[in-house]
Structure 1
Amino acid sequence: MNIVVEGGAPAPEGLVDAVLAYESALAADDLDALASAFEHGPHPLRGDRNGLLIGHERITGFRSRRGGAGPRDVLELRIHLAGDDAAHVTTVNAPSSGGRGLVTQLWRRGADGAWRIVAAHVTAPSPALDPRIWRVLGVPLVAGAGEGPLAGETVAVKDLFAIAGQRIGVGVKAYLAEAPVEDENAPAVQALLDAGADVLGIAQTDQFAYSVAGLNPDYGTPPNAVVPGAIPGGSSSGPASAVALGQASIGLGSDTAGSIRVPASYQGLWGLRPTHGAVSLERVAPLAPRYDTAGWLTRDGETMRRVAAVGLAGRDAVAPAPGFLAAPAAMMSCARGVRDAFDAALATLAGAGVRPLPVDVPALDDMLLAFRLTQSAEAWRADGPWVEAHPGALAPDVQERFDFARDVTPEQEADALADAGLLAARLDLELGDRILLVPSTASAAPRLDADEAELESRRRATLSITAIAGLTGRPALSVPVLDTPDGPVGLCLVGPRGSELALVDAGLALAAILRNPGETSFGHTV
């Protein structure tokens, strides 16, 4: 290792040892040593290609689910002094996986004589493929028609959809190993290809798509492109991260209980769950067919409009009735920051003549219970035999859901189906043909170091809202216009069945008002 100090001066006592100790802790994924290497308090910084983390707590939390940096050799260490007790350090490293990495750090000596990092920027070797996001990647993987309304667009396809010549992996390595090679594209994939889009690759999903977190122990957790150190949202996590990072322009995903709307909300994307049955699920691995839908993620509403027009071609479009609705009861499960952002959005819309009428919806707990029981019973029928034959293949949280699903009795399912039917009928009566406005998720993206209890609590709170569209089979669109102190949250538009294109048009109009208050107005008032 080559060590160079500015001006040829000796290195400050203990600094080189501190830098090398930090490198060792990275290789060993020693979380305690890594935490102690950074100054405590709200001011330390750590940045990489995924964004900037601010504060010791955020930096420490980010490492909890990341895994170590892996073995690497430090080739060069350069020190620029900044007084007696501070130094700017640059290291060049050679990871065992290949390439060269660069790390720059500002170190400061404390009153106890120990050197600690104040700010760091990490430049890792550029991977040809980030396995957290992509399982298979091409240039492209499948070329589209070359012309059409989606020419020039690139698609990240969730690992549930068949692509000719590839296997479906459902986010589980053991499943992938046994899966047959597909001989045809899923119709939902083929529609995008026929419209001119290229399929760039197969993107990751939560195991069996049975989560809304985006965590995957087999491949790693995709990064949240807009909230560093937070979960990406799932189960369409791979397509969402690929789109949010600019690696693809369209994500093709599925939404059973919120698996498009949740990652869209957490990563500032447009996400559309179409009317149940509107998009073919042929050659798509099922989770719960009663609720499964195929839909899309994009970075802007105009692209979503073109994608939806292609994906829903040939279906009759429904125009919602004028006006909007809001459900005060749906806010009960939301975090304070989400409630404040939603209320602020309603106030801005009111200034432009958009005043949603309050509507009464069934109790959130009743909707969640009916949805959970019926979804679980279907999930066990669809995937339970494989799960039972492969003990130990799944993450504990996903396995726990399948264990619950296995134990749902026929009598419980029958009762839950009856309840779901009654709840759906009441929702249809209350909502009619108008568009309901609710938050897409009950909170912004939880942090990577959130414990299982917190993740489950936020999951249940969010699913109690997303169940409105699930139980009724209505389309739902997440629009990235709500800002909270913890990150973005989507504004969700739930419309009458068949109103997808009108939802996107309404979303574009509402987004224009919320982004430019006082400069735009809506076409009608309530």
Structure 2
Amino acid sequence: MPEQEVDAGAPVHADGAVPAGLLDAFWRYERALMADDVPELDALFTDGPSTLRGDAGGLLVGHDAIAAFRRGRGGAPKRRIAAVHVRVLGDDAAVVVAELAPRTGGRGQQTQVWRRGAVGWQVLVAHVANPAPAVDARIWRTVGTPLVRGAAEGPLVGKRLAVKDLFAVAGHRIGAGVPEYLAHAVVQQHTAPSVRALLEAGADLTGIAHTDEFAYSIAGANPHHGTPPNARVPGALPGGSSSGPASAVALGQADIGLATDTGGSIRVPASYQGLWGLRTTHGRIARKGLLPLAPSFDTIGWLTRDRAVLAACSRVSAVGAPAVPAPDRFVTAPGLLAGLDGTVRRAFEAWTHRLGDVGQVDLGDVAAAQEAFRVVQAHEAWQADGAWLTAHPGAVSGAVAARFEAAADVLDEEADLARFELEDHRRRFTRALQGAVLLLPSAASVAPQATADAAAVDAVRTQTLRLTCVAGILGAPALSAPLLEIGGAPLGVCLVGPRHSDDALIHLAASLR
């Protein structure tokens, strides 16, 4: 039997006479689902903003959102209908519960509320419960129960840790989101100090979580293992390059994501999935045992669902580091906001207005600063990975491959000039801020849909990097706090403080709503 054919012989259990045409519509839906016939599926769902579809990944509201999700998922898992249960609600309404027998094993359920209207029977509400995978391979590269057990005592006892696939874990290899790189990698003999600090504080290492290819992205997509799900916005990008740890934490599969942030790779996934995320002061956390991307900007930090857990991670990981109090003055930089989508700008400005006394500063030509940042990052990324990529053509693809191709063309002289310019930008930013906490959106938009075209995703990336590069240029800590929502989707508020005000920023954020 071809995969798109459906056996309509499953037993039907009803509490009364089944309304005419209902089962025909149900089996029509099932055939379309197995054939991934998106237009037919769209026609079988009630058109309008009140239609609902939910699963373990979240709730989609409205026909348009459901249709966009279908276009991006690439078809539903193949299954057989084991039985159909009908509960009649009236002449023109019924609940249909189907027992699912997936080809991969286990049992699931599909519950639908059908309503008959002018165009016949259509689904108004649907919920799908598939068997949960033991391990979501889109998120995890390697897992254990746990993979490494932490100390018996400490402030992080009972917390589960997801480590981005850039850190050394003794007995394991570093994969950097690239299967071919993983295949040639050596087994690590020592665990990175940043990982060890959390283990010694009691956290258990659940596993090693995926990253975007060589961490050179902030979208969260990966062509090799699939894009990790966004726990807050079904069908949307999770944010990268710390996509695996972010999704693990947001979905409750881990409590702490140990991650890196070069150009926004902690702040963006935190923003997209409603998490707390801290990019630490550059150099505050030792980068030994970390695969570099651009050492001038690479930092280590954490993603959590809870501010207190984030504070504990910072305390145990930065023992002996300087501690600078957070200023009591907030400022925004209107020039940074000018190019943002109006919805984002208005939401952020309304939030800062509620906050009260917030000043304004002029950071000058941030576009020029962003370009200097880009050149230096690209040059260092090619220095880090160019030789390997040259020896392994085709190992990365898409936007990341295009970035590395551009990086290969950056001359040493260009990079030296950009570094000189960055020093000017850093001094100008420092003078403008005068020690204040800079407030800005953590990303230029809420999470784009995974089906968004490459040009649209790249445009959001460029706008977001305009925001995120400021902390990178300053070498300053930047805390993304889950304080805003737009249309039900999270948007982080970022606090950029003076160097080594990391812990004070986390404490300060407790007072913000």
When the two structures are superposed, what TM-score results if normalisation uses the length of structure 1? 0.92
Deviation at 1:327, TM superposition (A): 1.0
Structure 1 residues 345 and 314: alpha-carbon distance in aligned structure 2, compared to 1, 3 A threshold: same
The answer to whether structure 1 residue 55 and structure 2 residue 57 are counterparts is no
Residue in 2 aligned with 1:379? 381
Instruction: Please tell me the residue identity of whatever aligns with 2:207.
Output: G
Q: More deviation in 16-25 or 441-450? A: 16-25
The answer to whether structure 1 residue 2 and structure 2 residue 10 are counterparts is yes
Please give the residue correspondences for 1:47-446 in structure 2 after superposition, counting only pairs within 5 Å.
Answer: 47-113=54-120, 115-350=121-356, 355-446=357-448
Provide the C-alpha distance between the structure 2 equivalents of 1:198 and 1:379, rounded to a whole number of angstroms: 32
Instruction: Please tell me the residue identity of whatever aligns with 1:131.
Output: A
Instruction: Please tell me the residue identity of whatever aligns with 1:73.
Output: R
Residue in 2 aligned with 1:520? none
Q: More deviation in 406-415 or 189-198? A: 406-415
Provide the C-alpha distance between the structure 2 equivalents of 1:391 and 1:93, rounded to a whole number of angstroms: 43
Provide the C-alpha distance between the structure 1 equivalents of 2:265 and 2:496, rounded to a whole number of angstroms: 15
Task: Give the unaligned 5+ runs of structure 1.
Answer: 515-526
SS in 1 for 2:80: strand
Contact 2:112 2:126 in 1 (8 A): yes
Equivalent of 1:502 in 493, 496, 504: 504
Contact 2:162 2:206 in 1 (8 A): yes
Deviation at 1:8, TM superposition (A): 5.8
Residue in 2 aligned with 1:450? 452
Q: More deviation in 265-274 or 55-64? A: 55-64
Contact 1:370 1:419 in 2 (8 A): yes
Task: Give the unaligned 5+ runs of structure 2.
Answer: 1-8
- 1:327-382 per-residue CA deviation (whole Å, 9 max, x = no partner) reads 111111322222222222222221xxxx2221111323212211111111111111
Contact 2:72 2:235 in 1 (8 A): no
Structure 1 residues 37 and 10: alpha-carbon distance in aligned structure 2, compared to 1, 3 A threshold: closer
Deviation at 1:11, TM superposition (A): 6.4
- 1:60-108 per-residue CA deviation (whole Å, 9 max, x = no partner) reads 2123332322221111122233444433221112112111111011233
Structure 1 residues 421 and 81: alpha-carbon distance in aligned structure 2, compared to 1, 3 A threshold: same
Provide the C-alpha distance between the structure 1 equivalents of 2:147 and 2:74, rounded to a whole number of angstroms: 29
Contact 2:16 2:88 in 1 (8 A): no
SS in 2 for 1:333: coil
- 1:4-28 per-residue CA deviation (whole Å, 9 max, x = no partner) reads 1424636633x44443343344344
Contact 2:15 2:86 in 1 (8 A): no
Contact 1:79 1:87 in 2 (8 A): yes
Deviation at 1:277, TM superposition (A): 1.2
Equivalent of 1:39 in 16, 34, 46: 46
Residue in 2 aligned with 1:524? none
Contact 1:445 1:486 in 2 (8 A): no
SS in 1 for 2:145: strand
Provide the C-alpha distance between the structure 2 equivalents of 1:47 and 1:172, rounded to a whole number of angstroms: 32
Contact 1:257 1:470 in 2 (8 A): yes
Provide the C-alpha distance between the structure 2 equivalents of 1:255 and 1:297, rounded to a whole number of angstroms: 11
- 1:459-504 per-residue CA deviation (whole Å, 9 max, x = no partner) reads 1111101000111111111111122225221111111111111111
Instruction: Please tell me the residue identity of whatever aligns with 1:196.
Output: G
Contact 2:18 2:86 in 1 (8 A): no
Instruction: Please tell me the residue identity of whatever aligns with 2:369.
Output: M
Structure 1 residues 37 and 172: alpha-carbon distance in aligned structure 2, compared to 1, 3 A threshold: farther
Provide the C-alpha distance between the structure 2 equivalents of 1:27 and 1:173, rounded to a whole number of angstroms: 30
Instruction: Please tell me the residue identity of whatever aligns with 2:332.
Output: A
Contact 1:156 1:239 in 2 (8 A): yes
Contact 1:64 1:448 in 2 (8 A): no
Provide the C-alpha distance between the structure 2 equivalents of 1:220 and 1:32, rounded to a whole number of angstroms: 24
Contact 1:262 1:441 in 2 (8 A): yes
Structure 1 residues 8 and 343: alpha-carbon distance in aligned structure 2, compared to 1, 3 A threshold: closer
Provide the C-alpha distance between the structure 2 equivalents of 1:112 and 1:437, rounded to a whole number of angstroms: 51
Provide the C-alpha distance between the structure 2 equivalents of 1:83 and 1:11, rounded to a whole number of angstroms: 9
Provide the C-alpha distance between the structure 2 equivalents of 1:97 and 1:454, rounded to a whole number of angstroms: 36
Provide the C-alpha distance between the structure 2 equivalents of 1:488 and 1:148, rounded to a whole number of angstroms: 32
Q: More deviation in 21-30 or 372-381? A: 21-30
Q: More deviation in 448-457 or 247-256? A: 448-457
Residue in 2 aligned with 1:519? none
SS in 2 for 1:221: coil
SS in 1 for 2:99: strand
Instruction: Please tell me the residue identity of whatever aligns with 1:219.
Output: H
Instruction: Please tell me the residue identity of whatever aligns with 1:173.
Output: P
Provide the C-alpha distance between the structure 1 equivalents of 2:390 and 2:77, rounded to a whole number of angstroms: 34
Equivalent of 1:29 in 28, 36, 54: 36
Instruction: Please tell me the residue identity of whatever aligns with 1:447.
Output: Q
Structure 1 residues 79 and 409: alpha-carbon distance in aligned structure 2, compared to 1, 3 A threshold: same
Instruction: Please tell me the residue identity of whatever aligns with 1:458.
Output: V
Q: More deviation in 142-151 or 64-73? A: 64-73
Provide the C-alpha distance between the structure 1 equivalents of 2:33 and 2:295, rounded to a whole number of angstroms: 44
- 1:118-143 per-residue CA deviation (whole Å, 9 max, x = no partner) reads 21100010111111221212111110
Instruction: Please tell me the residue identity of whatever aligns with 1:143.
Output: R
Contact 1:273 1:293 in 2 (8 A): yes
